[in-house]
Amino acid sequence: MFMRHLGVLLAGLLPAASHALSPEAEEGRALYPACHVCHNPEMDPPLGPPMWGVQRLYRMNTVDDDDFVNTMVEFVKAPLPENAKHQEAVAQMGLMPPMPLPDELLEKIAGYILEERFPPPCAHWRIAVKRAEQRGDLAHAEKDQMMLERFCQ
């Protein structure tokens, strides 16, 4: 009974699958709430960058799916500034803590992050515009406003 209630609770934290995932990625999806705690795009202030952007940066900076998964696993096991794909996030929020999970579980989570179609983080950009304007960082506010207009209209 407890596990069924836990499953319902965790399901509320998971993005709705927008397409079929591989069996391994589906297992990773079930583990993803551990990541969403910090990578929640609606959090103010944010603790980590939205996964939409993390996924895009890893896709641009890895050569194939295996490299994506391996690079992500190595980073989350031992985050180092020189290995971070999202330098702006590191500058603003610092490095994430190491994730003390077995490689097999981290690979499943990274596989899910690779395969999922995350929606653009519109709430995150709205919050970022507001916070940047409050700091007087108009360049950052303009960049996030541009992302809002491009992906959220």
Mean pLDDT of 3-29: 65
Taking the C-alpha atoms of residue 26 and residue 10, their distance in angstroms, rounded to an integer, is 14
pLDDT of the residue at 19: 81
**What is the reported pLDDT for 16?**
53
> Taken in order 34, 40, 43, 47, is the CA torsion positive or negative?
positive
Residue 140: enclosing H or E segment and its boundaries?
helix 138-151
Assess whether pLDDT exceeds 50 at residue 84. yes
* CA separation, residue 113 to residues 14, 91, 137, 143 (Å): 12, 23, 31, 25
Please give the angle made by the CA atoms of 115, 125 and 28, to the nearest 5 degrees: 25
Cα 106 to Cα 31: distance, rounded to the nearest angstrom: 9
Residue 9 has pLDDT above 70, yes or no: no
Q: What is the mean pLDDT of residues 94-113?
A: 97
